[in-house]
Amino acid sequence: MKRVIFFPNGGTAVVDENGQQLPNLQRSWLKLFADFLDDHDEDPTEFEFTLPDGTHAKAIETASGYNWKYGL
């Protein structure tokens, strides 16, 4: 079975049945949610994100999209 692995820093790993990574499917789940907020006319930089390990992150807008500041 293929797997999606969510990491506490917002990253993901997607692997096939043989454990080989599928890079074209690996996208930060923080980025996915930032895009979701954008789609609903909300500015992701105005939100604090609580990560699974209890730390916090904030979206920072860059020329190529969003990046993250951790450990707030």
CA gap 21, 12 in Å, rounded: 10
Domain count, the chain: 1
Range of the domain at 33: 3-70
Buried b / exposed e over 11-33, threshold 16 CB at 10 Å, is ebebbeeeeeeeeeeeebebbeb
pLDDT number for residue 65: 84
pLDDT number for residue 47: 96
pLDDT number for residue 41: 98
pLDDT along the chain (72 residues), means of 10: 92 95 93 94 96 91 88 80
pLDDT number for residue 2: 97
pLDDT number for residue 8: 85
Global confidence as pTM: 0.79
pLDDT number for residue 52: 86
